[in-house]
Structure 1
């Protein structure tokens, strides 16, 4: 209904205000940029959405360079989604691979994998090749002598 839509929009504007306030206190937290990007997109502010998505990508990449372990798999999947929205399917692919390697729930990966394979069908075969490599690598052991 129209009333429910107005309530949703009001809640979204409140969320944006809270995210913006949090961002002032935590300007290097990539997820806040990510959340704001999605919220701006929902209310039709595409320029702000793109700016915040690109900043989220930059901060996720820095976060990985700092070698933090907390949330690494989930952040890789979040980064993959942002790369996907930017049309950078190759980078998104490798972040989904990272998320898998770092233990992200396989069910969480499926939607992103399907979207990638639909966007670039060659990535499906590439995924299969990488799976074979990962299995072979896991089966290879070096003797401790």
Structure 2
């Protein structure tokens, strides 16, 4: 009887752990506000929209747009596709405007957080961190050489549409 109870608890733990490695938490259209930095200029962004697809096997960046003070509206239509393995590892599959090699491991999904370090060139990386906290998706992106002022950075607080 004790062994059976242990198996039930273990099975529930394994099911919970497998579900925790899903990118489903980020699936959908998100909107909100944030701050964008490029060079020495920092701008408030009153309208940021991002669309993602995510499940147990993949994560896809669909599109994004942002309207920030002192800048024209920026639209990003590049689609990047990543596979997600059972351990939560993200592997780049294909994309439109990228230098990332297909098959490169670039990040991980754990619980309600997705992190990626995407190479831009030999020295620069695109450091992306997305965390669901309650009903708010906190999106952080810093691009540039580690330890130097970023080429650009974005911090956004988003709600699901």
Same fold, TM-score > 0.5, yes or no: no
Higher strand share: 2
TM-score by length of 2: 0.25
Larger relative contact order, structure 1 or 2 (CA cutoff 8 Å, min sep 6): 2
